[in-house]
């Protein structure tokens, strides 16, 4: 009887040792996984923290430009026979070139004389793989400026200060500095920006663009028809489309 009890005690001791080793191994595994996760998170978050802590840096000034019948993100007569819409990302270099070279010609030759109405649509996508969300934040900031009737001035200062994608050009500190440079009401701007007041409008633009066939920026639609898919439209492309729409009534 005593021998059986002794054998049972040894088995129990072995079992307890085995369970103890298993618990220790699980704990070690958990600690290793957690450590790796912390290291990976550090690599991902550190660049973003570094950008957010960086000084604002130089802000390129702009001279505000007179535009015809500006209202929010739209220009021109609401009753104009042709609607021109551009889907754009403020981080997009081709959008900057378009905004500085093509857009003014469209406004001067077709919007100013009532032949077309021109509307900016948001398509922030170049920050989809970035923690900084500079495309989204720039879009939000521009809409907060629009609340004060200054969308197009903010549009201009964003493109004037672009120098690369997801590298901190449009980090929050700089977006706020742009608003200060334009002498916006900073209490109103900051409240709008911090609360994301225009999330719904920006998301709607993005969804509408996807439905319309937008897959890159800038994409221009004339009366709902997308121009030159896969290529940035020239002024001549847009002019021809506006003329054709004016003639056909479509």
The CATH number of whichever domain residue 88 belongs to comes to: 3.40.30.10
- The pLDDT assigned to 41 comes to 43
Residue 63 lies in a domain: no
Are 98 and 210 in the same domain? yes
Residue whose C-alpha is closest to residue 242's, from 93, 133, 85, 122: 85
Are 126 and 18 in the same domain? no
Question: How many domains does the chain contain in total?
Answer: 2
pLDDT in tens, 117-127: 999 999 999 99
Are 108 and 196 in the same domain? yes
Are 121 and 237 in the same domain? yes
Residue whose C-alpha is closest to residue 155's, from 232, 67, 79, 238: 67
Are 100 and 224 in the same domain? yes
Are 208 and 133 in the same domain? yes
Residue 4 lies in a domain: yes
Rounded mean pLDDT, 130-141? 96
Q: How confident is the model at residue 2 (pLDDT cuts 50, 70, 90)?
A: low
- The pLDDT assigned to 16 comes to 77
Angle at 63 between CA 187 and CA 172, to 5 degrees: 40
Are 174 and 131 in the same domain? yes
Q: How confident is the model at residue 1 (pLDDT cuts 50, 70, 90)?
A: low
Residue 162 lies in a domain: yes
Are 215 and 161 in the same domain? yes
- The pLDDT assigned to 36 comes to 52
Residue whose C-alpha is closest to residue 149's, from 113, 188, 118, 121: 188
Residue 68 lies in a domain: no
Residue 5 lies in a domain: yes
Are 8 and 130 in the same domain? no
Residue 189 lies in a domain: yes
Are 100 and 2 in the same domain? no
Residue 62 lies in a domain: no
Rounded mean pLDDT, 87-94? 98
Residue 224 lies in a domain: yes
- The pLDDT assigned to 27 comes to 73
Are 200 and 160 in the same domain? yes
**Residue 212: how many CB atoms within 10 A of its CB?**
15
Rounded mean pLDDT, 123-142? 96
Are 181 and 120 in the same domain? yes
**How far, in Å, are 45, 123, 135, 204, 231 from residue 227 at the CA level?**
39, 16, 23, 21, 8
Domain that holds residue 149: 74-248
Share of the chain above pLDDT 90, in %: 74
């Amino acid at each position: 009887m005593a021998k059986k009890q002794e054998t049972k005690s040894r088995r129990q001791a072995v079992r307890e040792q085995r369970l103890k080793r298993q618990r220790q191994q699980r704990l070690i595994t958990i600690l290793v996984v957690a450590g790796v996760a912390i290291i990976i998170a550090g690599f991902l978050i550190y660049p973003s923290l570094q950008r957010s802590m960086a000084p604002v840096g130089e802000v390129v000034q702009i001279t505000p430009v007179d535009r015809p019948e500006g209202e929010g993100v739209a220009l021109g007569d609401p009753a104009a026979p042709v609607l021109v819409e551009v889907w754009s990302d403020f981080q997009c270099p081709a959008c900057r070139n378009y905004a500085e070279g093509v857009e003014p010609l469209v406004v001067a030759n077709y919007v100013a004389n009532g032949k077309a109405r021109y509307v900016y649509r948001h398509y922030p996508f170049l920050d989809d793989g970035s923690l900084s969300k500079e495309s989204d934040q720039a879009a939000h900031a521009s809409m907060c400026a629009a609340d004060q009737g200054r969308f197009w001035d903010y549009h201009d200062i964003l493109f004037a200060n672009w120098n690369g994608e997801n590298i901190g050009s449009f980090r929050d500190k700089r977006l706020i500095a742009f608003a200060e440079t334009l002498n916006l009401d900073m209490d109103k701007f900051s409240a709008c920006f911090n609360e994301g007041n225009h999330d719904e409008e920006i998301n709607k633009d993005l969804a509408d663009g996807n439905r319309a066939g937008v897959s890159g920026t800038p994409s221009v639609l004339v009366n709902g028809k997308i121009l030159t898919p896969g290529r940035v439209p020239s002024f001549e492309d847009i002019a021809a489309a506006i003329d054709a729409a004016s003639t056909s009534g479509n």
